């Protein structure tokens, strides 16, 4: 069996939503101290709905695929739903990640949560 699913390879090779939102309503940056990878997520939110989302990831292929999939999963969704996104759901949507690569999907969950916290702190 291939180590990575076709979906992981697809999102790694053609990541969706890469970039920066200059006037973002929420920004979240997280890093993994062990591997040194960094992920930054930008959210544009209108009436409680995520109208746009972009990311920058300086990290491994699984981290790039996870950020790509995670941004696809929350785009167009209410913030309440995005807040509940788990790294497990991201990995499942990618048709799985090897066990030792699950921490890469955790970065995506954490970056989104941090961006939402930033949004809530500005829009209490």
Identify residues 42-71 at the interface with ligand FES (CB under 6 A). Answer: 59-60, 62-63
Helix then strand then coil, % of the chain, to nearest 5 = 45, 20, 30
Give yes or no for residue 110 binding ligand FES (CB under 6 A). Answer: no
Residue of 74, 104, 106, 112 marked catalytic:
104
Residue of 13, 14, 20, 35 marked catalytic:
35
Q: Extract long-range pairs of 84-91: CB within 8 Å, 24+ residues apart.
A: 85/109, 85/112, 90/66, 91/66
d(CA 37, CA 74): 22
CB of 55 to ligand FES, least distance (A): 13
**Interacting residues with ligand FES (CB under 6 A):** 32, 35, 37, 59-60, 62-63, 104, 107
């Amino acid at each position: 069996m291939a180590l990575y699913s076709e979906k992981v390879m697809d999102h790694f090779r053609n990541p969706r939503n890469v970039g920066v939102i200059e006037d973002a309503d929420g920004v979240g940056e997280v890093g993994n101290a062990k591997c040194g990878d960094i992920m930054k997520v930008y959210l544009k939110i209108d009436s409680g709905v995520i109208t746009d989302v972009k990311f920058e990831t300086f990290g491994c292929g699984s981290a790039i695929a996870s950020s790509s999939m995670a941004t696809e999963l929350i785009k167009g969704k209410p913030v309440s739903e995005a807040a509940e996104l788990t790294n497990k759901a991201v990995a499942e949507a990618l048709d799985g990640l090897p066990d030792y690569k699950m921490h890469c999907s955790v970065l995506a969950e954490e970056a989104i949560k941090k961006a939402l916290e930033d949004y809530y702190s500005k829009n209490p």
